[in-house]
């Protein structure tokens, strides 16, 4: 029997605390930028021709579950509306990396450059050795979604070496559950300059019972920008 699992963060504007539930504002961005006043602003008005409600919406392009295009990293690369649909839909794997993590993987005495690469976070740094355990499960052309069962203050980071290994496997899309695992700056850049889009702020990955599933990850088709919110689902037994 087919089962559909929604992996999308719930933006519930009726809940005044919904912004507090998102894993942003952790770490110390080197550019010292301030966060916008609101992630999402809605101005309702009435469409006079048929007296119906419409909304004028101003939102952060990375609000909630979102997909980042290569253009987000580097000008001249594909924007979010130019990503081929084949890169956003297909077979893939959902991996819990918690069992691969050892105490020695946590931040101890790395250089200042490495600390910046890790956003100052002390969590375990995942390298190719953590991913090679799944060598037989990740196929060319796969979508790969990742999470751990670590708390947010100890969440794991995907290294540039791990990104290189996944790229060498021929993956076409990579996503993470931000509360428990994120990309280092190096990994983030390596994926995007290799034209591999990224999904961030996924939820419910632990509710998918089968490791190998069919994944649909659709951003808004807007050409000329780097990212948009997206609806992402996993389908078991398609």
β-pair type (3-6, 227-236): antiparallel
Query: Which tokens in the block code for residue 101?
Result: 């993590």
Residue 34 has what pLDDT?
47
Q: Which residues pair with 111 in a beta bridge?
A: none
Residue 222 has what pLDDT?
97
Nearest-angstrom CA–CA distance, 151 and 121? 12
| DSSP class of 8 | B
Residue 144 has what pLDDT?
98
Residue 41 has what pLDDT?
83
Residue 21 has what pLDDT?
80
Residue pair 198/80 in contact (Cβ under 8 Å)? The answer is: no
Residue 33 has what pLDDT?
44
Domain boundaries, the chain: 3-9+61-236
> Which parts of 41-159 fold into alpha helices (H)?
112-117, 128-131
Residues of the chain with pLDDT under 70: 24-38, 108-111, 238
Which H helix or E strand runs over 52?
A: strand 52-59
Query: Which tokens in the block code for residue 51?
Result: 């007296």
CA quadruple 77, 80, 86, 88: dihedral sign: positive
Residue 24 has what pLDDT?
64
Residue 117 has what pLDDT?
76
Residue pair 5/214 in contact (Cβ under 8 Å)? The answer is: no
Please provide the CATH number assigned to the domain covering 3-9+61-236. Answer: 3.50.30.50
Residue 20 has what pLDDT?
74
| DSSP class of 174 | E
Q: Which residue bears the tokens 């990850």?
A: 217
Nearest-angstrom CA–CA distance, 171 and 191? 10
Residue pair 227/59 in contact (Cβ under 8 Å)? The answer is: no
Nearest-angstrom CA–CA distance, 162 and 158? 6
Residue 25 has what pLDDT?
52
Closest CA to 152 of 100, 201, 115: 201
Q: Which residue bears the tokens 């994944």?
A: 215
Residue 39 has what pLDDT?
72
Q: Which residues pair with 6 in a beta bridge?
A: 233
Residue 192 has what pLDDT?
98
């Amino acid at each position: 029997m087919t089962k559909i699992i929604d992996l999308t963060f719930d933006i519930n504007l009726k809940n005044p605390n919904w912004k507090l539930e998102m894993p942003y504002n952790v770490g110390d961005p080197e550019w010292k930028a301030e966060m916008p006043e609101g992630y999402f602003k809605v101005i309702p008005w009435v469409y006079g021709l048929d007296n119906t409600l419409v909304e004028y919406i101003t939102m952060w392009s990375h609000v909630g579950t979102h997909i980042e295009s290569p253009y987000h990293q580097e000008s001249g690369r594909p924007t979010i509306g130019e990503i081929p649909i084949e890169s956003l839909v297909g077979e893939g794997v959902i991996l819990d990396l918690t069992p691969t993590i050892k105490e020695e993987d946590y931040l101890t005495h790395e250089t200042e450059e490495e600390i910046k690469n890790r956003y100052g976070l002390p969590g375990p740094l995942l390298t190719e050795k953590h991913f090679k355990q799944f060598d037989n499960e990740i196929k060319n052309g796969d979508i790969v979604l990742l999470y751990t069962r670590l708390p947010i203050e100890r969440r794991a980071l995907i290294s540039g070496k791990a990104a290189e290994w996944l790229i060498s496997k021929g993956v076409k899309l990579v996503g993470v559950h931000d509360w428990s695992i994120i990309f280092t700056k190096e990994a983030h850049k390596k994926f995007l300059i290799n034209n591999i889009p990224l999904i961030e702020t996924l939820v419910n990955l632990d509710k998918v019972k089968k490791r190998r599933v069919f994944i649909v990850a659709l951003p808004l088709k807007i050409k000329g920008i780097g990212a948009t919110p997206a609806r992402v689902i996993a389908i078991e037994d398609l």
